Chains A and B, each alone.
Chain A
Amino acid sequence: MEIELKLFATLGRHLPAAARRNAVHIDIPADSTAYDVIDANGIDREEAFMVVRNGVFRPPEQRAREPLREGDVLAIWPPVAGG
């Protein structure tokens, strides 16, 4: 199935060559979770801090459990605590 993966800020370096700007459509096995996608793209789970599925923040336990669906948009941001 196909989903759209968007990587923001410093995570952009993990985007595959087919990416346009910060987004790429990728084929993933059915029932893949967010962590499956994160791991498959070489992104450190700690660095993939803000995981957003279709505009809603997903906490870590859901990233391991919740299967993604065809057409989902998965957006990922690194942590930010500076000021």
Chain B
Amino acid sequence: MMTMNDETLLRYSRQIMLPQIDVAGQQRLFDARVLIIGVGGLGSPVALYLAGCGVGEIHLADPDRVDSSNLPRQIAHVADAVGESKVASARRRMRALNPDVTVRTRAETLRGQALEEAVAGVDLVLDCTDNLEARKSINRACFAAGKPLVSAAAIRWEGQISVFDARLPDCPCYECLYGALGGVADTCSENGVMGPVVGMLGCMQASEAVKLLCGVGEPLAGRLLLIDALAMRTQEVRLPRDPDCPVCGKARGL
């Protein structure tokens, strides 16, 4: 449990200075518990920034070990960590950055009941995975538990980010958007990805998480931000909820 003393006030002074954060917001970050699923290109900056910001308890889940081909973009992992589990490697870096943060790790793919319990135990979930199947199951678990989900994806020079917030009555979910895509979407290991591009998306996820945890600003709920970094063009798209969505629509639970 983190508390506010002179040292912590100094450490977090640059964000406490922001009127949207202030001491009350910092305390909310200290008291927050978040789950980061996937500690790769997206999850690395998310984990480091949220640890740096002073999010009190951060849960990491990822079944993979660090590979040398991860290093150009998965900035939580250093060359010495090759072969180590990603969650242990990231935990070490997060604790080196901010020893006050509690980091809990699970070196596995969360599925079924384990996923439901992991989601139920936190205030907010960040989807930093690399495949459609995991993304759909995380979305289902978040809507079942009523937890906000910050979801981003990146490949090649492209990325997208949105917030699916089950607490809002009209907020669409990942299934409204990707439900129709039954096949396999392109993966970074087959198509390549530029490190700073996936890093940008991870930083945006961390920023959205801070806003949601502090209850400030306008989160990306009901909107999807699309980024083409090669042309450096962005587009904001309005996402209406699909009334027939099996996860968040009228048809849910039928």
Contacts and interface: CB of A to CB of B under 8 A. Distances in A.
Interface of A: 8-10, 21-22, 46, 49-50, 52, 55-57, 59-60, 75, 77-83
6 contacts: A8-B226, A57-B177, A59-B242, A80-B160, A82-B41, A82-B185
**Do most interface residues of chain A lie in helix, strand or loop, or is the interface mixed?**
loop
B233 interface: yes
Contact of B158 (A8, A46, A75): A8
Contacts, number: 101
B147 interface: no
A62 to B, nearest CB: 10
Nearest to A77: B226
Given A50-B226, A57-B177, A78-B186, A83 B233 contact: no
Given A82-B155, A82-B188, 4 more contacts: A9-B158, A55-B237, A77-B160, A82-B130
Contacts of B38: 83
Given A77-B226, A81-B187, A82-B130, A57 B155 contact: no
A82 B154 contact: yes
Interface of B: 38, 40-43, 127-132, 135, 152-160, 176-178, 180-181, 183, 185-188, 191, 193, 198, 201, 224, 226, 228, 230-231, 233, 235-240, 242
Given A57-B224, A57-B237, A83 B158 contact: no
A10 to B, nearest CB: 7
B153 A81 contact: yes
A49 B183 CA distance: 11
Contact of B41 (A22, A49, A80, A83): A83
Nearest to B131: A81
Given A79-B181, A81-B187, A57 B239 contact: yes
A56 B238 contact: yes
A60 B131 CA distance: 21
B153 A52 contact: no
A62 B1 CA distance: 50
User: 9 closest A-B pairs (Cβ-Cβ)?
Assistant: A81-B185, A82-B155, A82-B188, A83-B42, A79-B185, A80-B153, A9-B158, A83-B130, A60-B180
